[in-house]
Amino acid sequence: MGKLTFSMGGVHPHDSKYARECAIEELPLPKTVWVSMAQHLGAPAKPVVAPGDTVKVGTVIAEPGGFISAFVHSPVSGTVKAVAPRKDLAGNPVMHVEIAVEGDEWEPSIDRSKTLVTAIPDDKAEILARIKACGVVGLGGATFPTHVKLSPPPGKVAECLILNGTECEPYLTSDYRIMLERPKEIVVGAALMQKVLGGCRCVIGIEENKPEAIASMREAVAALGFPGIEVATLRKRYPQGGEKQLIDAVMHRQVGSGGLPIDVGAVVQNVGTSLAVYEAVQKNKPLITNVLTVTGDHLPGNLQHNYLFRIGVPLSFVAEQAGGVPESAAKIISGGPMMGKAVSNLDATTVKGSSAVLYLSEKATRRRRETACIRCGKCADACPMGLEPFLLNRLYKAADLEALEKNAAQDCIECGCCLYSCPAGIPLLDNIRQAKGQVMGVIRARAAAAKAAAEAAKK
């Protein structure tokens, strides 16, 4: 199999993987953690603990708040101090469970040994139940509950499980490190998901700029011998790790507007999710840890880290352990520079999907001075979804929601390729993101009205 890639758009930013040689370190525990109830896409979890309760590492502290939701577990042992709102990364109040850390006592049902468990349970329902009970969610960015994603609706069949090991965002190296340090666990996780999906083919996609990871994963696949699992080399091209772009690259199929991957026979999961599935099913370990990269431009090597962290740890504590916030940092970002979110609150805490704390200098964050659009079409050439960002920007300014929907503003994946490629410095991503939110509001309202009308007709 040659190097694969998606069929339209994309850009080639410098990968800036400065922390790639930094082995994973375990982050120490703070004196207090605050665990968010909004750890995943969908409905926030509902707390099931109260102030004064004693918890261990792995104790359930919240249950799913709806069909698309997930369990949340305590990442530490100690005493619950409060169940109250606390500001998240964006400064919005979100319900958190505050726990005072007292020792590090784990639930006895969790297997903490490093022994690799390769036997796959025969019962698909049992595997799925363990994944759900352990609160596993997608770790590629969207944090969609994994047990839901692994349950195709009636009439839909998974033909290919794609594991995303591209890590195409600049600076991020957490996925790279787990592919070097825990490749066999990732492969067993893939085999478990294959079992749930009925034994479909599995492709682990890794970009060509990570040859060590490609070799590591191929060696693990060969050593374990699970059938139907292969490693594919993908071209270095952003956003290669986008769900629809991966499906295009690996299966040469396109997901239509408003469609889902399963519509074309695909299920996409991140390599970090596969590791979490392994730990959940084979070790009964809930998703309370992940790997986070602390990095930035022009930082010395001793300030670059890949940390194994527990959820609920304040970002200020992470920064302190990593050597402090650099004086050169003009902006702090949670995630990568293309799709990450600016951090307005360092007291916000890590969540299941946290992937990086990125420090960028003033030079790295400086935008071009905005000038008039020169109709060059570079934004349209770069859009991996085949949209026309210059047109969507104009329609947004005209507040033409009908035309925005007709021109598929709702299909924008917010990858930032248009902004990256625009020579006029127009804030295309910012404006189209706003337009997308408005259009999605219209679509949801229409769907709700249709549902209400259908229910009324039944009466």
Q: Does pLDDT of 188 surpass 80?
A: yes
Q: In angstroms, rounded to a whole number, what is the distance separating the alpha carbons of residues 38 and 69?
A: 9
Give the pLDDT confidence of 414-447 residue by residue, as tens digits. 999 999 999 999 999 999 999 999 999 999 999 9
Q: Does pLDDT of 209 surpass 70?
A: yes
Least confident of 42-46, 168-172, 178-182, 340-344: 340-344
By the 8 A CB rule, do 110 and 133 touch?
Answer: no
Q: Does pLDDT of 373 surpass 70?
A: yes
pLDDT score of 258: 87
Residue with tokens 């940390």: 307
pLDDT score of 300: 83
Residue with tokens 């599995």: 202
DSSP string covering 12-51: ------TTTT--EEEPPP-SEEEEES--SSSSPPEE---T
Q: In angstroms, rounded to a whole number, what is the distance separating the alpha carbons of residues 332 and 159?
A: 40
Q: In angstroms, rounded to a whole number, what is the distance separating the alpha carbons of residues 338 and 267?
A: 24
By the 8 A CB rule, do 171 and 358 touch?
Answer: yes
Residue with tokens 């991503």: 429
Tokens of 149: 């994603």
Residue with tokens 């690259």: 249
Q: In angstroms, rounded to a whole number, what is the distance separating the alpha carbons of residues 430 and 412?
A: 12
pLDDT score of 2: 63
Quick one: residue 60, left, alpha or beta (phi over 0 = left, psi -120 to 50 = alpha)?
beta
Tokens of 353: 């999907």
Q: Cα–Cα–Cα angle for 206, 211, 215, nearest 5°?
A: 85
Single-letter residue type at 15 = D
Q: In angstroms, rounded to a whole number, what is the distance separating the alpha carbons of residues 245 and 252?
A: 9
Q: In angstroms, rounded to a whole number, what is the distance separating the alpha carbons of residues 412 and 416?
A: 10
Burial of 91 per CB tally in 10 Å (0-12, 13-18, 19+): exposed
By the 8 A CB rule, do 163 and 247 touch?
Answer: no
pLDDT score of 409: 97
Residue with tokens 């004693």: 54
Q: Does pLDDT of 157 surpass 70?
A: yes
By the 8 A CB rule, do 86 and 76 touch?
Answer: no
By the 8 A CB rule, do 14 and 387 touch?
Answer: no
Tokens of 31: 């004196």
Domain locations along the chain: 29-110+287-363, 124-283, 378-458
Q: Does pLDDT of 459 surpass 80?
A: no
By the 8 A CB rule, do 350 and 315 touch?
Answer: yes
- 203 Cβ neighbours under 8 A, 6+ residues apart: 160, 161, 162, 163, 230, 231, 232, 250
Exposure string of 278-299, with b = 16+ CB inside 10 Å and e = fewer, is bbbbbbbbbbbbbbbbbbbbeb
DSSP letter for 411, please: G
Whether the link from the prior residue into 211 is cis, omega within 30° of 0, is no
Give the pLDDT confidence of 253-277 residue by residue, as tens digits. 999 988 999 999 999 999 999 999 9
Residue 410: phi, psi to the nearest 5?
-65, -15
Burial of 185 per CB tally in 10 Å (0-12, 13-18, 19+): buried
**How much of the chain exceeds pLDDT 70, in percent?**
100
pLDDT score of 33: 98
Q: In angstroms, rounded to a whole number, what is the distance separating the alpha carbons of residues 391 and 238?
A: 22
One fold for 29-110+287-363 and 124-283: no
Binning the chain into helix, strand and coil, the percentages to the nearest 5 are: 30, 20, 45
Residue 168: phi, psi to the nearest 5?
-80, -15
Range 124-283: architecture per CATH: 3-Layer(aba) Sandwich (3.40)
Give the pLDDT confidence of 129-150 residue by residue, as tens digits. 999 999 999 998 889 999 999 9
Least confident of 199-203, 223-227, 337-341, 450-454: 450-454
By the 8 A CB rule, do 11 and 378 touch?
Answer: no
CA nearest to 316, candidates 21, 33, 25: 33
Tokens of 250: 């690996």
Mean pLDDT, all residues of the chain: 95
Mean pLDDT in residue range 185-194: 98
- What angle separates helix 124-133 from helix 183-196, to the nearest 10 degrees? 120
Report the topology of domain 29-110+287-363: OB fold (Dihydrolipoamide Acetyltransferase, E2P) (2.40.50)
Q: In angstroms, rounded to a whole number, what is the distance separating the alpha carbons of residues 336 and 333?
A: 7
Q: In angstroms, rounded to a whole number, what is the distance separating the alpha carbons of residues 267 and 190?
A: 11
Single-letter residue type at 401 = L
Sheet with 32-36, strands from edge to edge, namely: 32-36, 93-101, 78-87, 54-55
DSSP letter for 406, please: H
pLDDT score of 368: 87
